Amino acid sequence: AQRVTQPEKLLSVFKGAPVELKCNYSYSGSPELFWYVQYSRQRLQLLLRHISRESIKGFTADLNKGETSFHLKKPFAQEEDSAMYYCALGTVNKFYFGSGTKLNVKP
């Protein structure tokens, strides 16, 4: 079975503080992992994917197969980062989404 777990429903940090949104997965095959972001009243959009090993808007995420994790990190949070963040596991046929973490960056 495939499953994505995001243990934190809400994460509140102050502007400039580091942030880490946790994601753990279970999958029997080779995982393709993604982070999606949903800003207030906007559609879901792709933030980054593990295969690209890129940094988008200052966010990075490293796939740790040993710990089956794909945590999203940013060293200095900004107020505009406040949004819902979803970790997703992509397979050939479908995507599986975690329950989401609401990030609230306080001024």
Partner 1 sequence: GAVVSQHPSWVICKSGTSVKIECRSLDFQATTMFWYRQFPKQSLMLMATSNEGSKATYEQGVEKDKFLINHASLTLSTLTVTSAHPEDSSFYICSARRGLLERTSVWEQFFGPGTRLTVL
- Contact pick of 35, 37, 49, 85 for partner 1 (by CB under 8 A): 49
- Contact pick of 26, 44, 55, 78 for partner 1 (by CB under 8 A): 44
- Contact pick of 1, 43, 67, 107 for partner 1 (by CB under 8 A): 43
- Contact pick of 11, 24, 95, 104 for partner 1 (by CB under 8 A): 95
Answer yes or no whether residue 100 interacts with partner 1 by CB under 8 A: yes
Count of residues that interact with partner 1, criterion CB under 8 A: 23
> Residue 27: which residues within 8 A CB-CB, separation 6 or more?
2, 3, 68, 89, 91
Of residues 75-94, which lie at the interface with partner 1 (CB under 8 A)?
A: 86, 90-94
- Contact pick of 13, 98, 103, 105 for partner 1 (by CB under 8 A): 98
Give the Cα separation of 65 and 63 in Å (integer): 6
> Residue 72: which residues within 8 A CB-CB, separation 6 or more?
20, 21, 23, 35, 47, 59, 60, 61, 85, 87
Quote the radius of gyration of the chain (alpha carbons, Å).
Answer: 13
- Residue numbers of the site for partner 1 (CB under 8 A)? 9, 32, 42-46, 49, 51-52, 86, 90-100, 102
